[in-house]
Copies of this chain bind each other. A is one copy, B any other.
Amino acid sequence: MMRSLALLLAAAMPAAAAVAAPPPTAEHTRSYAPLFAAEVEAAKRDVEASIRAGINVPVPKDPGGGFTHEQHKRNYRIIFEGGQLYRLTGDVRYRDHVRDLLLAYAKLYPTLGPHPAAANQAAGRLFWQSLNDSVFLVNAVQGYAQIRDALTPAERARIDDGAIRPMAKFLSDGSPEVIGRIHNHATWACAGVGLAGYLLGDRDLVDKALLGLDKSGKTGFLRQLDLLFSPDGYYAEGPYYQRYALMPFVVFAAAIDANEPQRKIFDYRGGIVLKAVRTAIDVTHDGYFLPINDAMPDKSLRTDELYQAVAIAYAATRDPVFLSIAERQGHTVLTPAGEALAADVAAGKAKPWPFASRLLSDGPDGKGGALVLLRDRPTATGPLLVVKNTVQGMGHGHFDRLNWLYYDETGAVVTDYGAARFLNVEAKRGGRYLPENDSWASATVAHNTLVVDEQSHFAGDWKVGEKVPTQQLASRLDGPTRYSIAAIDGAYKGVAIRRALLLLDIDGLGNPLILDILRGTGGGRHRYDLPLHFSGQIIDSDIVFDRKLAERPVLGTANGYQHLWVDGVGSAADKA
């Protein structure tokens, strides 16, 4: 494991440079396993096309989805891929193209101020939000590391001093309000700054990344590992952001391990980095991340973040269950870890991932409630009952305590809307969250849980919700009667809610039954609504509906009710 990771960042530290990196192997003597060979071929197509197109480093202008935004994304990808290809092939055309791209950035970057399309997020230089600048740096450093020793001292100095160091400075000392947070944006910043620090041999940058700008350890990467994951490796913001945040966590952890093995980063906090990878795989159905909180439902294990995470986790553990995930992904990364993983996949070493019921505690101390996953078979696509008894999930959390979802072989059955957003579609508010993300997607009524008096939990204030845990009272994860029982007292003033959700295996039924028992207790008069959002058609009902066929009103005026069309109205008493 050390060996392959050390290869990855062999050029990163002056100290490591003494251990001479092996000269690039003539490629025709190498034989790649199919999974890796496909990545090499794909990267060659990308980079060759970029070489033909020439260097294009535009002055930043557009928000997400716009031309300059997408072009800078393409460029960091080419820097990453071109660097890896140079390492693999020794072809100087790749080195020169990556160098020329980086020289263009070294020329442009010092001239930039805050991005003109910046909105409510912290402004970047290359992108509308500084988050994307961090992503740029994380990728660019990994590519640059592969060519840096093969440049002239003058070229190296221009890139170091015109691009890499200024970018790292901007994302550290220049952005204390970002890197000082306990939040995935800060993790991306730390990873970029720390990787740059290792590459440049700049201890100050590394320490700021690890321990915060004041190097006290109250913020920074290690503190994020303490606070952003529960002891079970569940990420505070939920599965969608667990996926997104995983990349900087695993890439920076691998770099720390390669450069400072004495830190034993993969053992830190009981092995939290690897727990986070395993839990990320568990919070999926048929490979798709469970779309609770702000989430796009189409994100799956087939993403760059998870290719990196699986390759790095396999390098760190050699646990063959990661290989079956790589087979399902059909992709890996261009790094030595990816190459080694592909070889073991080809050697037939994969073992099935042990999908099972899990109670994933939430909160840094594990006392903030739990995300409960109930499965009755060890497969990626089998029945899955999801119960959301977590804390809020920070700013991306929805007001959906005690919410539940259900999946079977056909996909989502009892559903979650996820986020209201057109990711990377410029015409839709520059790819940002839409106003309907607040007015509908995060509202309680958009979920399968109790709404009292047409209000969202915590009156829709996520900072209040962040302070109120859910009480996970009991659970059983195996046997024919699996269940979760939980309660929330502070979601509504004066109303306590308790809910039991059971997954029952019944003789003669192919799939389990779900039993849902919910009780609201409070004084005074209240209106209780219990929505059930599901994928499918109403086939029959014991309620006769007065259908609104000619004019369809909305159900209310606020808290999501203004987005609900009234299709029909009825009560059980209507049917004799």
Measured CB to CB, the residues of A under 8 A from B are: 422, 425, 427-428, 537, 539-540, 549-554, 562, 565
Q: How many copies does the complex hold?
A: 2
- Of B425, B562, B565, which contacts A552 at CB under 8 A? B565
A416 nearest CB across to chain B (Å):
19
Once A539-B425, A539-B427, A540-B427 are accepted as A-B contacts, the answer to whether A551 and B549 lie under 8 Å apart by CB is no
Which residues of chain B come closer than 8 Å to A537, judged between CB atoms?
422
> How far is A422 from B538 in the complex, measured between Cα atoms in Å?
11
A-side binding surface: helix, strand, loop or mixed? loop
Residues of chain B lying within 8 A (CB to CB) of residue A540: 427
What is the CA–CA distance of A425 and B540 in the complex, to the nearest angstrom? 11
- CA separation between A553 and B539, bound complex, in Å? 25
Q: How far is the CA of A251 from the CA of B540 in the complex (A)?
A: 39
Q: What 7 pairs between A and B have smallest CB-CB spacing?
A: A427-B540, A427-B539, A552-B552, A551-B553, A550-B554, A551-B551, A425-B539
- Give the residues in chain B near A549, CB-CB below 8 Å: 554, 562
CA distance A226 to B27 in the complex (A): 64
CA of A268 to CA of B11 in the docked complex: distance in angstroms? Answer: 75
- Chain B residue numbers with a CB within 8 Å of A553 are 550-552
Q: Which residues does chain B contribute within 8 Å of A552, judged by CB atoms?
A: 551-553, 565
Chain B neighbourhood of A562, CB < 8 A: 549-550
Shortest distance from the beta carbon of A297 to any chain B beta carbon, whole Å: 15
A428–B539 contact, CB under 8 A?
yes
Q: In the assembly, what is the distance between CA of A553 and CA of B551, in Å?
A: 4
Q: A427-B539, A427-B540, A539-B428 are in contact. Are A554 and B554 (CB under 8 A)?
A: no
Complex Cα–Cα for A427 and B539 (A): 6
Q: How far is the CA of A371 from the CA of B549 in the complex (A)?
A: 35
Cα(A428)–Cα(B565), bound, Å: 23
| Cross-chain contact of A551 among B422, B427, B539, B554 (Cβ < 8 A) | B554
A53, chain B: closest CB distance, angstroms: 12
Closest to A554 in B: B550
Bound Cα distance from A537 to B550, whole angstroms: 24
If A428-B539, A552-B553 are given as contacts, then 14 extra A-B residue pairs at C-beta distance below 8 Å, sorted by A number, are: A422-B537, A422-B539, A425-B539, A427-B539, A427-B540, A549-B554, A549-B562, A550-B554, A551-B551, A551-B552, A551-B553, A551-B554, A552-B552, A552-B565
